[in-house]
Homo-oligomer: A and B are copies of this chain.
Amino acid sequence: MRLLLIGFGVVGQSFAKLLLSRSTDLYRLYGVKPRVVACVDGHGSAVSTAGLNLEKLLEAKKLFGTVGAYDRSEPTHELLDLIEKADAEIAIELSPTNLESGEPGTSNIVASMKSGKHVITVNKGPLALAFPSLIELADHNDVKLRFSGTVGGGTPILEFAKRSLKGDNIISFRGILNGTTNYILSKMEQGLDFREAFNDARLHGYAEASSLLDIDGFDAAAKLVIMSNWIMGMKVTIKDVRRRGIGDVNLSEVKRANRAGMAVKLIGKCESGCLVVEPTEISSTDPICVNGTLNAVTFCSQHSGDHTIIGQGAGGVPTASAVLRDLIDIRTALLV
């Protein structure tokens, strides 16, 4: 399978390493023989119809900060032009999430699908803003759109709900969808106030430039939108979410809840067609009451009861493994 990598940051590089270390397995177990025919980052691009040497590609990125250094004889194309012309079956879109404009993700995905490429993305922006129309465009162009890594990082939350509960109906779901805010709230349970907890999260690398997206609940809302569309068959965007972040949660509130055997968590839920993200008191014995950066979701089903799935929810290698899962999934879907 010929791949185009759009973006070569932490996830992209982890994905390249995963392909290197697992190539034998992938062929043996799934008949997948991936070949990266083009890779582009913010500063340049590398193209080879015979397939890029991934070790050399990683080296170029490491030494020169861009994959453009891979092979200087290649001309640099304009991005959308390169996407359109790349001789790839699957575009893997790994540009950073922007929940206001959705760009550059949306344009990259649209250009890929319009030129007949299946798309795998870990970018929440385009899906949070325009899930229904992107799915429609994929159908119209007869290509697959997959996005495992947008929810749960490497934890297969979307697959679990969509595949493992076949034959049952999911009625509602709710969960902790953002690791950064959960880390902050967990630290507040230990006695830190919001500011101290936030700084602690920064210190550990959990809260960065985009931390307002976490704190204000936008990241959780984006995931809620993706889940509601994909799992519940709704047609919603981030505008349909009633959202309140954790900025107002104070220490006394957290302590009071704690004394009552409860915990304050930023819960995203989809219930009776309503999407809500807000700080919520839940019982400390509730299976979704996890601490640290963990994510947790409970699906309530009609016949088989409640099912909870818990996982790390972020990280370069886990998210890259979600991309690989999507790759195998597309391969399998094409064979049927």
A→B interface (CB under 8 Å): 18, 22, 26, 30, 153-156, 159-160, 163-168, 285, 287, 290-291, 294, 296, 301, 303-312, 315, 317-318, 320-322, 324-325, 327-329, 336
What are 24 A-B interface contacts by the 8 Å CB criterion? A22-B167, A26-B167, A30-B166, A154-B301, A154-B304, A155-B305, A156-B164, A156-B307, A159-B163, A159-B164, A166-B325, A166-B329, A167-B327, A167-B328, A168-B324, A287-B287, A304-B312, A304-B317, A305-B315, A305-B318, A306-B312, A307-B309, A308-B311, A309-B309
Residues of B within 8 A of A285 (CB): 290-291
Q: Are A318 and B296 in touch, CB under 8 angstroms?
A: no
Q: How far is the CB of A155 from chain B (nearest CB, A)?
A: 5
Knowing that A156-B304, A306-B312 touch, tell me 5 more A-B residue pairs with CB under 8 angstroms.
Answer: A153-B304, A168-B325, A287-B287, A287-B310, A304-B317
A interface, by DSSP: helix, strand, loop or mixed? mixed
Residues of B within 8 A of A312 (CB): 304-306
Nearest CB in chain B to that of A308: its residue: B310
Q: Are A294 and B303 in touch, CB under 8 angstroms?
A: no
Q: Are B303 and A18 in touch, CB under 8 angstroms?
A: yes
Q: Are B155 and A307 in touch, CB under 8 angstroms?
A: yes
Q: Are B304 and A322 in touch, CB under 8 angstroms?
A: yes
A308 to B313, CA, bound (A): 12
Residues of B within 8 A of A329 (CB): 166
Residues of B within 8 A of A310 (CB): 287, 307-310
A336 to B168, CA, bound (A): 22
A18 to B312, CA, bound (A): 35
Q: How far is the CB of A139 from chain B (nearest CB, A)?
A: 18
Residues of B within 8 A of A155 (CB): 304-305, 307
A231 to B306, CA, bound (A): 23
Residues of B within 8 A of A318 (CB): 303-305
Q: Are A303 and B287 in touch, CB under 8 angstroms?
A: no
A156 to B123, CA, bound (A): 28
A48 to B153, CA, bound (A): 51
